[in-house]
A and B are shown apart, each in its own frame.
Chain A
Amino acid sequence: MRLAMLGISHKIAAVDVRERLALQGDRRDRFVERLRQAPCPVQVVVLSTCNRTEIYLAQDGTAATDEPFMQWWAQTCDFPLPQLGSIIQRRDGQAAIQHLFRVASGLDSMVLGEPQILGQVKTAYHQAKEQKTVGPILHRVFEHAMAFAKQVRTTTGIDAGRVSVGSIAVEYAQQIFERFDDKTVVVVGAGQAAKITLRHLAALKPGKLWIVNRSIQRAKQMIDGLGLDIRSGGYRAFDALDDLLGESDIVLTGTASPHPIIRRERFAGMMGKRCHRPVYIIDTALPRDVEPSVGDLANVFLYNIDDLQGVAQQTHDKRSEHANTCEVMLDGASSQCMHELNHQEIGHVIRVLRQKLHEIGDVERVRTQHKLLAMARSNDEAALLNLLADHTRRLINKVLHLPMSQLGHGRSEDALASFASAMRVLFALDVDAPTPTTDGANTEADITGGTTETPADPTVDVVTLPPLQDRVSPVSARATSP
């Protein structure tokens, strides 16, 4: 089994490169179509978001390479292959699992702990399931990743709080007001920070929205740029500000004025007119548009840009603390997942091996049966015993032929040593025991399936087989039984 991740993310690729390499929509479909033409079956999940494009692959065997996938990716996106090779990020085995876990839980996100990525991982997985490109390996890995991401969020709170100024402003608004369809928002100025905050506030669907600016044209441009539709409210000049402040529930300021435009005396008078209803003021301007002492008035909740950014920083710090806990959890979870995958792999291998040995056993059984039927009338006991010995010898030779022949083909010393070690363990071989010399049963030629005249393969010398009765494994014994 080979599990790998190939991808690019915001950490290694600029936005223009990420745009070109994104595998979404048609591109994704084309990429999957190319995969279907692959010579060997491959499991694939494509995760493509604004910050990353990652391909998770699982294949049988360890010899597979990434090159075909990179080539298909480059062809699909019309991107130079060498350039792709230079920026691509590769992860194999447990590292790939850890990477996916980190991505799903938001530890690898641009905004630490952001929750959207989990939904995107789920979508990618479900799309792959619909396109039938997910097999048992990726199924298990993605199920584990999603469960881990949920566990991390519930136990550590890494996704708690907001990290953008606009969303923090909205969160405060929701702590002051229960509903917004009867509220009036007054936006003073058209600065960039005010524009960003207004985008979030507009999502609350306030009852009225008034824009106060020196240039009505610029205010209209801002609203058009945000794609807002002002049904109730409109644009006003600065001389109408007092009237609007008396009516407002949420005031958002972002002018370039060098002096405060809302002073305490001015606002204190208005609070009486508005029956001391709570008012929420967000001052995104620098220098500030609202005198800080306005915030001391009863039922006035004043937040400036420093307050909001301070909260964002606190949230980020808190999430960073949680990230360390998550990393510890991640090691354990990914190891567990890898362990399960290995067990799943071993189970699969055993099933295939069993099937293969049964096929060999069936062929030999049919061959021996024919010979037995031919001898049935002769009653030659010696011939019968010879036939039985021949059957057993052929069966063992056939079973051992493939693994033994694999030992000699240009293997490195390390590989041979590991094979030898594995065989000692798998067949419970005692290498110190005296080598049996029964007739032809464990000679070089028998092992390779040839005759006694065949020259010995020097690479097979390291293998010494125990007596026949010890070498017949339960699997092969069952395979040869009629």
Chain B
Amino acid sequence: MTDLTITTLCLATLAVVSATASALAIRGVRPDQPKWKSYAIEKALIAVCAAGGVALESYRVLYVHQGWRVLENHVDGLVIVATLLSMALFEMRRRSRLLGLAAFAMPAHTFVVLWAVCASAWTYREFRIDSLVAQAHRGGIYLGTFCAFGAASGGMLYLFAKHRLRTKRRPTSQTPLASLEAIERFVRRLATVGFVLITTGVLLGVFVASTTPTRLGPVWWRSPKIVLAAAAWLTYAVIAYGGYAKRLRIHTAWLSIVGLILVLATFGIVGADSARSVAIRYPIRATDPADTVNRFLPEPAEKKVSDDTRRSP
């Protein structure tokens, strides 16, 4: 069994646990649901997700990569995002902060884990450029993505809580939600942190693109990836500092969701572009699983993955 297969299986297991926790969390915010054991089960499942994520990332860093770099490929990045999400959620559950957030953040966690399963099983590819600046760029982007997921989950919770208040339904004590004020502050803070991280990531990415020959070509600044990344950056700038403008305050929740969609679209563009280029450069010729893995690897990384494959039992 290869390292990649182990990673995929672990991620699939995490996805099942995460999906169960999501279902319980969504059930929890529905009106007139009795307080029963699902709350404790949900908390335990979130803890399992967090612990599982930490264990998986530790396995990848210590056993697969055997080095200090935690971001060798897209799967690592997604595992980090999912783990941070579940850890943050567990801490909030433990301290009874932002009640109801899990109903939106856990589905987001499930989405990230499923995305990682896909990335691990079908579009696995090591990052090409290997430098400290590139690592910092990726770190900024993935941590910014974590903030984007958190802020968008908060935004959705805000809209849900606002809708519940507008419909003037019985405020059921069984399904308490955080106050609008608390949710708004959470979204704004997370968006501010995300803005700083994405700014760092984008600036370092621009530096890498302008100094190193990449697939984006000489007019990299007009590529869809850069345009979408700039749009996402601008959205978070508006959320972070738009509170000072009068009308923008009303739309914080929606903007946080739009920001996440832009971030995801940027990832989508990058993923599609790299998958296309891999398919052109390495067409399928063999049915050997090792060859299938190698097809998605860039040239400099080929030797390393071969080592990994040899090391696997």
Which residues 270-326 in A have Cβ within 8 Å of B in the complex? 272, 275-278, 298-299, 301, 303, 307, 310-311, 314-315, 318
Contacts of B35 in A (CB 8 A): 154, 157
The answer to whether the Cβ of A156 comes within 8 Å of any Cβ in the partner chain is yes
Q: What 0/1 readout, one digit per residue, does chain A (166-177) give for beta carbons within 8 Å of chain B?
A: 001001101111
Contacts of B250 in A (CB 8 A): 276, 298-299
Question: Distance in Å from the Cβ of B102 to the closest Cβ of chain A?
Answer: 18
B168→A176 contact, CB < 8 A = no
- The count of residues in chain A whose C-beta lies closer than 8 Å to any C-beta of chain B is 31
Nearest neighbor of B179 in chain A, beta-carbon distance: A178
Contact of A161 among B171, B178, B247 (CB under 8 A): B171
The answer to whether the Cβ of A155 comes within 8 Å of any Cβ in the partner chain is yes
Q: How far, in whole Å, are A57 and B198 apart by their CA atoms in the complex?
A: 73
Whether A161 contacts B246 in the complex (CB less than 8 A), given A175-B179, A278-B181, comes out as: no
The answer to whether the Cβ of A160 comes within 8 Å of any Cβ in the partner chain is yes
Whether A176 contacts B172 in the complex (CB less than 8 A), given A276-B249, A301-B165, comes out as: no
B34→A175 contact, CB < 8 A = no
Contacts of B246 in A (CB 8 A): 272, 275-276
Which residues 172-191 in A have Cβ within 8 Å of B in the complex? 172, 174-179
B180→A161 contact, CB < 8 A = no
The answer to whether the Cβ of B239 comes within 8 Å of any Cβ in the partner chain is no
Contacts of A277 in B (CB 8 A): 249
Contact of B181 among A154, A156, A176, A318 (CB under 8 A): A176
The answer to whether the Cβ of B9 comes within 8 Å of any Cβ in the partner chain is no
Whether A172 contacts B171 in the complex (CB less than 8 A), given A276-B246, A301-B165, comes out as: yes
Q: How far, in whole Å, are A210 and B105 apart by their CA atoms in the complex?
A: 40
Question: Distance in Å from the Cβ of B48 to the closest Cβ of chain A?
Answer: 25
Contacts of B215 in A (CB 8 A): none
Interface centre among A174, A278, A307, A318 (most CB of B within 10 A): A278
B174→A178 contact, CB < 8 A = no
B161→A178 contact, CB < 8 A = no
Nearest neighbor of B175 in chain A, beta-carbon distance: A160
Q: How far, in whole Å, are A154 and B161 apart by their CA atoms in the complex?
A: 24
Contacts of B178 in A (CB 8 A): 178
Question: Distance in Å from the Cβ of A302 to the closest Cβ of chain B?
Answer: 9
Q: What 0/1 readout, one digit per residue, does chain A (109-134) give for beta carbons within 8 Å of chain B?
A: 00000000000000000000000000
B247→A172 contact, CB < 8 A = no
Contacts of B166 in A (CB 8 A): 301
Whether A157 contacts B174 in the complex (CB less than 8 A), given A172-B165, A175-B161, comes out as: yes
The answer to whether the Cβ of B32 comes within 8 Å of any Cβ in the partner chain is yes
B34→A156 contact, CB < 8 A = yes
Question: Distance in Å from the Cβ of B176 to the closest Cβ of chain A?
Answer: 8
Contacts of A276 in B (CB 8 A): 246-247, 249-250
Interface centre among A160, A162, A277, A318 (most CB of B within 10 A): A160
Question: Distance in Å from the Cβ of B50 to the closest Cβ of chain A?
Answer: 26
B170→A318 contact, CB < 8 A = yes
Contacts of A172 in B (CB 8 A): 165, 171
Q: How far, in whole Å, are A157 and B166 apart by their CA atoms in the complex?
A: 24
Nearest neighbor of A275 in chain B, beta-carbon distance: B246
B161→A160 contact, CB < 8 A = no
Contact of B32 among A174, A178, A278, A318 (CB under 8 A): A318
Contacts of A310 in B (CB 8 A): 168
B165→A175 contact, CB < 8 A = yes
Contacts of B180 in A (CB 8 A): 175-177, 278
Q: How far, in whole Å, are A301 and B161 apart by their CA atoms in the complex?
A: 12
The answer to whether the Cβ of B177 comes within 8 Å of any Cβ in the partner chain is yes
B34→A157 contact, CB < 8 A = yes
The answer to whether the Cβ of B234 comes within 8 Å of any Cβ in the partner chain is no
Nearest neighbor of B247 in chain A, beta-carbon distance: A276
Nearest neighbor of B176 in chain A, beta-carbon distance: A175
B165→A160 contact, CB < 8 A = no
Q: What 0/1 readout, one digit per residue, does chain A (251-287) give for beta carbons within 8 Å of chain B?
A: 0000000000000000000001001111000000000
B34→A178 contact, CB < 8 A = no
B179→A160 contact, CB < 8 A = no
Q: How far, in whole Å, are A311 and B168 apart by their CA atoms in the complex?
A: 8
The answer to whether the Cβ of B173 comes within 8 Å of any Cβ in the partner chain is yes
Contacts of A157 in B (CB 8 A): 32, 34-35, 174
Contacts of B164 in A (CB 8 A): 175
Q: How far, in whole Å, are A318 and B32 apart by their CA atoms in the complex?
A: 9
The answer to whether the Cβ of B16 comes within 8 Å of any Cβ in the partner chain is no
Contacts of A278 in B (CB 8 A): 180-181
A160→B172 contact, CB < 8 A = yes
Contacts of B32 in A (CB 8 A): 157, 318
A168→B179 contact, CB < 8 A = no
B168→A303 contact, CB < 8 A = yes
B171→A178 contact, CB < 8 A = no
Contact of A155 among B34, B165, B169, B179 (CB under 8 A): B34
Nearest neighbor of A299 in chain B, beta-carbon distance: B250
Q: How far, in whole Å, are A168 and B181 apart by their CA atoms in the complex?
A: 18
Question: Distance in Å from the Cβ of A312 to the closest Cβ of chain B?
Answer: 9
B181→A311 contact, CB < 8 A = no
Question: Distance in Å from the Cβ of B110 to the closest Cβ of chain A?
Answer: 27
Q: How far, in whole Å, are A384 and B164 apart by their CA atoms in the complex?
A: 96
Which residues 147-166 in B have Cβ within 8 Å of A in the complex? 161, 164-166
Question: Distance in Å from the Cβ of A299 to the closest Cβ of chain B?
Answer: 6
Contacts of A168 in B (CB 8 A): 171
Q: How far, in whole Å, are A175 and B182 apart by their CA atoms in the complex?
A: 9
Whether A307 contacts B179 in the complex (CB less than 8 A), given A160-B174, A161-B173, A275-B246, comes out as: no
A174→B34 contact, CB < 8 A = no
Q: What 0/1 readout, one digit per residue, does chain A (59-86) give for beta carbons within 8 Å of chain B?
A: 0000000000000000000000000000
Q: How far, in whole Å, are A350 and B34 apart by their CA atoms in the complex?
A: 45
Q: How far, in whole Å, are A179 and B179 apart by their CA atoms in the complex?
A: 9
Question: Distance in Å from the Cβ of B250 to the closest Cβ of chain A?
Answer: 5
Nearest neighbor of A307 in chain B, beta-carbon distance: B168
Contacts of A275 in B (CB 8 A): 246, 249
12 contacts between A and B (CB under 8 A): A168-B171, A175-B161, A175-B164, A176-B180, A275-B249, A276-B250, A298-B250, A299-B249, A301-B165, A301-B166, A314-B169, A318-B32
By Cβ-Cβ distance, the 9 closest A-B pairs, closest first, are A178-B182, A178-B181, A314-B170, A178-B179, A298-B250, A171-B171, A276-B249, A160-B173, A307-B168
Given contacts A160-B172, A178-B178, 11 further A-B contacts (CB under 8 A): A155-B34, A157-B174, A161-B173, A175-B179, A175-B180, A177-B179, A178-B181, A276-B249, A277-B249, A314-B169, A318-B170
